[in-house]
Amino acid sequence: MLQNVLRRFLLGKNVKNSPQWGFHTQFRPNFAQYVLLPKAFVFRECAISLLLFFQSVLYHTFNCNKFAVTSY
């Protein structure tokens, strides 16, 4: 059930009831499972890491005097 939801989300249409694939519809879940789902996983992980990187860059640029040696 979760794989059907993920396939519908990634392919943008219902996998079982799509007429353009025809006979090859039964081979399409394997394609979605082994090709599209790792692509989505890699894209999601890269997006999360980029967001964390830019967040850390912004944090360290605006809090740069936190670790600086201040002379009073």
Give percent above pLDDT 90 in the chain: 11
pLDDT of 53 higher than 90: yes
Taking residues 53-60, what's their average pLDDT?
87
pLDDT of 52 higher than 80: yes
pLDDT of 1 higher than 80: no
Q: Provide the pLDDT for residue 51.
A: 93
CA count, 13 A, side-chain hemisphere, 46: 6
pLDDT of 48 higher than 70: yes
Q: Provide the pLDDT for residue 50.
A: 93
Say which DSSP state 33 is in: I
